[in-house]
């Protein structure tokens, strides 16, 4: 890895945690359950970028491709299930507020 | 054994869905597979799995292998899955729901088998998500308000955990140039002090601690266990969180990165916090299933505490406690389900003297909690003894003392539960209650026999299963 690509790589290494933190912040701050899932997706996108960058700078992009494709498939499955949850919660309470899922006390 | 246990459940799910069969067929197919799994561990050559993997090997090339730890987890999975499926049946009114539940349990079992045999951190991630997806759906099969809430919290926290694990997988890829166990352990050996490697280990460990429901990452666990349908709580509490969280932790540290002092300290502190806070929270609970949920946190604390010692004996003790916990905790959840089915409620204060009406349930609950509290000769005693010996010999004497003292707390909340529900004056609203039907009593006797036999014949169990898993013999 020469100096120029190292500088370029640092850009990715900074971007990925920033996206990760934005996602966590979105999950904590939002009042809407759809935004919670969007926050989760932002986190996953940050990790995807990091994985792709790691493959590229390691000189093994062909090894990372199947991993990223698998990851996207898994992500879509989880997204479908959470969409099912959101539809059912919205039907039960007739609103999308986070307050609806704060009733159980540990 | 390895390939067939991953692929047969997936093939079964495909066969059951095209063309779609009835719920009963799916139920018996799933039970048959779990029994097959139990047999396949003890007689790996006799059940045609070699031929199966040979046929399958023409199309797939999987990087899997079995070792001693995987055997123990596979046995526990099969036992818990049989009990969970049998317990679910009386609660289910519709054929289609029985069909979904059987399919989902097969998928979750395939996922657990996948994790157990995996030799690659990315494979572990994929199978963790398979199990998680199946359990998100299982929790809300009844679509009650509380289960939607508990399940959604589980979904969010556990997805954050998997994203953290994935972050660490990409960091490992960056350093090691691959995701296999061997590449990563080479990289850790060569650049152990590197910041990136440390960050990757920390992230992976935090993800797994969330998955295992350790304190302070336990927020999702009581809601998910307490609100899931009865049989699903057996499966969740018995094996799912242990396989995805704690077993993967053992695998990661034991086979991949090895222990260092910081990791050991984190594990010891998280473990002891979970033991104490979980037990104290269990004393204050009013809901039968939530008492069991918090006790689950406390018992998982023991496993992680043992892991913190980092020696081979500690690994063996942790694996043995996973097995014992799977047996006695699923027995307790089965009994909670039986009580709920026969009386229609779970509030601990509303019972009293239920033991006169349901003697078998009362007796098996007593045996399960005696095993959990570590009373000889039941199997829980031996694993706790090994945990304490391992901690003492590794020099963590304060933590060993804490483990002994916390057993008293365990005794306290279980005695409280047993006294309020089964002993004492019979409350007048329990007049018409009868003993639970066969689909509860069979798992009760089965699990009770396992915990008693494994306790009496502990020497044999340890020699055949537990010590080989940590490479002691």
A40 contacts on B by Cβ (under 8 Å): 156, 159-160, 163
B133 contacts on A by Cβ (under 8 Å): 77-78, 81
Q: Is residue B144 pLDDT above 80, yes or no?
A: yes
Cross-chain Cβ contact B222/A106 below 8 Å: yes
The CA distance from B77 to B35, in Å, is: 11
pLDDT at A98: 84
Tokens at A94, concatenated: 């007739």
Question: Is the domain of B239 the same as that of B101?
Answer: yes
Q: Which residues of A touch B (CB under 8 A)?
A: 16, 20, 23-24, 27, 33, 36, 40, 43-44, 46-47, 50-51, 54-55, 57-58, 60, 63-64, 67, 70-71, 74, 77-78, 81-82, 85, 88-89, 92, 100-104, 106
Chain A contact for B216 (CB, 8 A cutoff): no
Per-residue pLDDT tens, chain A, 106 aa: give them. Answer: 556 667 777 788 888 889 999 999 999 999 899 999 999 999 999 999 999 988 888 888 888 899 999 999 999 999 999 999 999 999 988 888 888 777 766 5
Of the CA atoms within 13 Å of residue B297, those in its CB half-sphere come to 34
Question: Is the domain of B311 the same as that of B456?
Answer: yes
CB atoms within 10 A of CB B414: 24
Return the domain boundaries, chain A: 3-97
Residue B444: closest CA among B90, B82, B31, B42: B82
Q: Which of B235, B258, B281 is the last residue of a domain?
A: B258
What CATH fold (topology level) applies to the domain A3-97?
Helix Hairpins (1.10.287)
Q: Calculate how close chain A gets to B133, using CA atoms only, in Å.
A: 6
Which of A43, A81, A104 is closest, CB to CB, to B146?
A: A104
Cross-chain Cβ contact A104/B152 below 8 Å: no
Tokens at B8, concatenated: 């047969």
Residue B468 is part of which domain span?
265-473
Tell me what the pLDDT averaged over chain B comes to.
88
* pLDDT single digits (tens) B114-125: 999 988 889 999
A74 contacts on B by Cβ (under 8 Å): 126, 129
* pLDDT single digits (tens) B238-252: 899 898 989 999 998
Cross-chain Cβ contact A43/B146 below 8 Å: no
Cross-chain Cβ contact A103/B136 below 8 Å: no
Question: Is the domain of B244 the same as that of B272?
Answer: no
* pLDDT single digits (tens) B172-187: 998 888 888 888 888 8
Question: Is the domain of B141 the same as that of B171?
Answer: yes
Residue B113: closest CA among B37, B29, B205: B37
Contact A67, B122 (CB under 8 A): yes
Q: Is residue B65 pLDDT above 60, yes or no?
A: yes
By C-alpha distance, the chain B residue nearest A16 is: B167
Q: Which of B258, B273, B302 is the last residue of a domain?
A: B258
Q: Is residue B295 pLDDT above 80, yes or no?
A: yes
A85 contacts on B by Cβ (under 8 Å): 136, 140, 148, 151-152, 155
Which of B140, B156, B226 is closest, CB to CB, to A36?
A: B156
Cross-chain Cβ contact A67/B159 below 8 Å: no
Chain A contact for B142 (CB, 8 A cutoff): no
Of the CA atoms within 13 Å of residue B25, those in its CB half-sphere come to 9
Tokens at B7, concatenated: 């692929």
Q: Which of B213, B231, B258 is the last residue of a domain?
A: B258
Which of A51, A63, A88 is closest, CB to CB, to B148?
A: A88
Banded model confidence at residue B161, pLDDT cuts 50, 70, 90:
very high
Question: Is the domain of B315 the same as that of B213?
Answer: no
* pLDDT single digits (tens) B75-115: 999 999 999 999 998 888 888 999 999 999 999 999 999 99
Q: Calculate how close chain A gets to B209, using CA atoms only, in Å.
A: 18
* pLDDT single digits (tens) B122-143: 999 999 999 999 999 999 998 8
Under DSSP, is residue A67 helix (H, G, I), strand (E, B) or coil?
helix
Cross-chain Cβ contact A89/B140 below 8 Å: no
pLDDT at B216: 85
Which of B159, B171, B177 is closest, CB to CB, to A60?
A: B177
Distance in Å from the first CA to the final CA of chain A: 51
Cross-chain Cβ contact B148/A89 below 8 Å: yes
Question: Is the domain of B76 the same as that of B180?
Answer: yes
In chain B, how many domains are there? 2
pLDDT at B64: 75
Q: Calculate how close chain B gets to A49, using CA atoms only, in Å.
A: 9
By C-alpha distance, the chain B residue nearest A43 is: B163
Chain A contact for B304 (CB, 8 A cutoff): no
Question: Is the domain of B174 the same as that of B45?
Answer: yes
Mutation choice for A interface testing from B121, B131, B141, B166 by most A CBs within 10 A: B166
Question: Is the domain of B89 the same as that of B202?
Answer: yes
- Is B277 exposed, middle or buried, given 0-12, 13-18 or 19+ CB atoms closer than 10 A? middle
Chain A contact for B151 (CB, 8 A cutoff): yes
Q: B232-264 burial by CB neighbour count: b if 16+ within 10 A, else e? A: bbbbbbbbbbbbbbbbbbbbbbbebbebeeebb
Question: Is the domain of B246 the same as that of B300?
Answer: no
Chain A contact for B287 (CB, 8 A cutoff): no
Chain A contact for B277 (CB, 8 A cutoff): no
Tokens at B11, concatenated: 């093939």
Question: Is the domain of B342 the same as that of B278?
Answer: yes
Question: Is the domain of B275 the same as that of B369?
Answer: yes
Question: Is the domain of B238 the same as that of B91?
Answer: yes
pLDDT at B61: 67
Under DSSP, is residue A103 helix (H, G, I), strand (E, B) or coil?
coil
Under DSSP, is residue A48 helix (H, G, I), strand (E, B) or coil?
helix
Between A and B, how many residue pairs show a Cβ–Cβ distance under 8 A?
102
Which of A20, A64, A88 is closest, CB to CB, to B173?
A: A64
Which of A50, A67, A106 is closest, CB to CB, to B167?
A: A50
């Amino acid at each position: 890895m020469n100096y120029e690509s190292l500088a370029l790589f640092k850009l990715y290494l900074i971007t990925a945690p920033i996206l990760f933190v934005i996602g966590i912040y979105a999950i904590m701050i939002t009042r809407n359950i759809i935004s919670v899932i969007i926050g989760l997706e932002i986190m996953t996108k940050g990790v995807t970028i990091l994985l792709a960058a790691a493959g590229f700078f390691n000189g093994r992009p062909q090894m990372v491709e199947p991993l990223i494709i698998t990851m996207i498939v898994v992500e879509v499955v989880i997204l479908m299930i959470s969409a099912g949850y959101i539809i059912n919660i919205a039907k039960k309470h007739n609103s999308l507020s986070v307050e609806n899922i704060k009733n159980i006390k540990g | 054994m390895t390939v067939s246990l991953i692929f047969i459940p997936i093939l079964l799910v495909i066969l059951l869905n095209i063309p779609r069969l009835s719920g009963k067929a799916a139920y018996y197919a799933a039970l048959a597979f779990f029994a097959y799994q139990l047999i396949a561990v003890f007689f790996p050559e006799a059940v045609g799995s070699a031929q199966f993997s040979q046929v399958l090997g023409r199309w797939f090339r999987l990087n899997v292998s079995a070792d001693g730890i995987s055997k123990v987890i596979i046995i526990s999975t099969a036992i818990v899955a049989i009990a969970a499926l049998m317990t679910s049946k009386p609660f289910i009114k519709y054929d289609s729901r029985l069909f979904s539940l059987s399919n989902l349990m097969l998928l979750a079992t395939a996922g657990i088998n996948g994790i157990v045999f995996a030799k690659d951190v990315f494979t572990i991630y994929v199978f963790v998500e398979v199990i998680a997806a199946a359990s998100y759906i299982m929790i809300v099969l009844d679509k009650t308000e509380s289960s939607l809430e508990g399940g959604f919290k589980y979904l969010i926290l556990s997805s954050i955990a998997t994203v953290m694990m994935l972050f660490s997988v990409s960091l490992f890829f960056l350093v090691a140039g691959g995701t296999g166990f061997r590449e990563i352990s080479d990289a850790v050996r060569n650049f152990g002090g590197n910041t990136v490697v440390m960050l990757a280990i920390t992230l992976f460990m935090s993800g797994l601690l969330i998955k295992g429901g350790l304190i302070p990452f336990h927020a999702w666990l009581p809601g998910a266990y307490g609100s899931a349908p009865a049989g699903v709580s057996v499966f969740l509490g018995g094996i799912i969180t242990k396989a995805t969280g704690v077993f993967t932790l053992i695998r990661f540290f034991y086979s991949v990165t090895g222990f260092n002092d910081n990791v050991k300290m984190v594990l010891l502190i998280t473990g002891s916090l979970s033991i104490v806070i979980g037990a104290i929270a269990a004393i204050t609970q009013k809901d039968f299933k939530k008492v069991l949920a918090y006790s689950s946190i406390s018992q998982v604390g023991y496993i992680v505490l043992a892991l913190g010692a980092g020696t081979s004996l500690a690994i063996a003790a942790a694996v043995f406690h996973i097995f014992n916990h799977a047996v006695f905790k699923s027995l307790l959840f089965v009994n909670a389900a039986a009580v709920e089915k026969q009386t229609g409620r779970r509030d601990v204060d509303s019972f009293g003297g239920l033991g006169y009406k349901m003697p078998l349930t009362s007796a098996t609950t007593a045996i399960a909690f005696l095993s959990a509290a570590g009373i000889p000769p039941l199997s829980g005693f031996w694993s706790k003894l090994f945990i304490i010996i391992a901690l003492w010999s590794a020099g963590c004497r304060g933590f060993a003392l804490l483990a002994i003292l916390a057993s008293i707390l365990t005794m306290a909340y279980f005695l409280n539960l047993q006294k309020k529900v089964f002993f004492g004056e019979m409350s007048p609203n329990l007049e018409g209650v009868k003993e639970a039907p066969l689909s509860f009593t069979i798992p009760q006797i089965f699990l009770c026999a396992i915990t008693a036999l494994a306790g009496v014949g502990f020497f044999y169990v340890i020699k055949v299963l537990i010590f080989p898993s940590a490479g002691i013999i």
